[in-house]
């Protein structure tokens, strides 16, 4: 039985988030420049988007560039931005053909004009797609997002649109960049690091976490299937007891 056949199609995660880590180490292990690892990382991403679409997963969120990644050497930052533009130039047609809708979360105002406009163009071109929602986190970090949300909420209070006593966590969620997107059910991190690195801290409150030693350029469809199979073996209790889950 292949790994794909082991996936139960009635228990698929509707939202998978991925911290695509390990490009630099993958390249270094081959005596190559880190940038080469980032280029290979794009191929892995293409495979995983295809796998997610084939499985009819509704939402796939990928961490492409964090707020903290702005602190990397200038050459690496500009190479990553170049790869982003190149990939969008090359793949926008494929996204449209496959009914995939692109969305971005993060502080896109910090992006250079060419990167931002290319990203916005693809977002607009795919806005009518009804298949996979591909959400790319670009210049994103959770603390940035939560701080921005708190600022907007504070100004709504100042303007008299709401009062502090009425605010629930559901209200707060509407101020996040992920407004309207269900929380991730499964979060995957590659490269063996056991941390979240400022990604979707609010949204992963009840996500199942999956860590693998595989470096991102080596993360294949089969590895993706393994993560989903592992997810399907878990009991998600959301604070309840196992017995309560059986009662329904
Ligand atoms: C992930 O790979 C890609 C980005 C953070 C942009 P890294 O570049 O972090 O690779 P490692 O972790 O140094 O191996
Ligand atoms: C997280 O990876 C960010 C992305 C994958 C885009 P990092 O490589 O930047 O995270 P740390 O520094 O290992 O925590
Ligand atoms: Mg890394």
Compute, in angstroms, the gap from residue 90 CA to the centroid of ligand 1.
22
Strand extents, DSSP E, 7-145: 15-19, 59-66, 101-105, 133-140
Q: What are phi and psi of 215, to 5 degrees?
A: -80, 150
Domains recognised in the chain with CATH numbers: 12-141+183-246 (3.40.1180.10)
Ligand 1 in reach of 217 Cβ (< 6 A)? no
Question: Which long-range contacts link 147-151 to residues 24+ away (Cβ below 8 Å)?
Answer: 148/175, 148/177, 149/175, 149/176, 150/175
Find the ligand nearest to 25 CA.
1
Q: Return the ligand 2 atom nearest residue 65 CA.
A: 6
pLDDT at 234: 98
Compute, in angstroms, the gap from residue 11 CA to the centroid of ligand 3.
31
Q: Return the ligand 2 atom nearest residue 22 CA.
A: 8
Let me know: does 77 contact 110? Beta carbons within 8 Å: no
- In this predicted model, what pLDDT tens digit does every residue of 76-128 receive, in sequence order? 999 999 999 999 999 999 999 999 999 999 999 999 999 999 999 999 999 99
Q: What is the pTM of this model?
A: 0.98
Q: Which one is catalytic: 33, 69, 156, 218? A: 69
């Amino acid at each position: 039985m292949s790994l794909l056949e082991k996936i139960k199609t009635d228990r698929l995660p509707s939202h998978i988030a991925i911290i695509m880590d390990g490009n630099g180490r993958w390249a270094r292990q081959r005596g190559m420049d880190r940038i080469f690892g980032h280029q290979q990382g794009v191929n892995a991403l293409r495979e995983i988007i295809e796998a997610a679409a084939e499985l009819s997963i509704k939402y796939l969120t990928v961490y492409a560039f964090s707020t903290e990644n702005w602190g990397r050497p200038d050459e690496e930052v500009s190479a990553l931005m170049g790869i982003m533009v190149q990939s969008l130039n090359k793949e926008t047609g494929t996204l449209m053909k496959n009914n995939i809708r692109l969305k971005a979360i993060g502080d896109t105002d910090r992006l250079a004009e060419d990167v931002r406009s290319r990203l916005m163009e693809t977002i607009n071109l795919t806005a009518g797609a009804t298949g996979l929602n591909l959400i790319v986190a670009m210049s994103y970090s959770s603390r940035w997002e939560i701080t921005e949300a708190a600022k907007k909420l504070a100004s709504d209070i100042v303007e008299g649109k709401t009062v502090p006593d009425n605010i629930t966590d559901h209200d707060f969620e509407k101020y996040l960049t992920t407004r309207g997107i269900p929380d991730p059910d499964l979060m995957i991190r590659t490269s063996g690091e056991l941390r979240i690195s400022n990604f979707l801290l609010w949204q992963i409150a009840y996500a199942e976490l999956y860590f693998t030693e595989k470096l991102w350029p080596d993360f294949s469809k089969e590895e993706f299937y393994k993560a989903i199979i592992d997810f399907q073996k878990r009991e998600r209790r959301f604070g309840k007891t196992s017995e309560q889950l059986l009662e329904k």
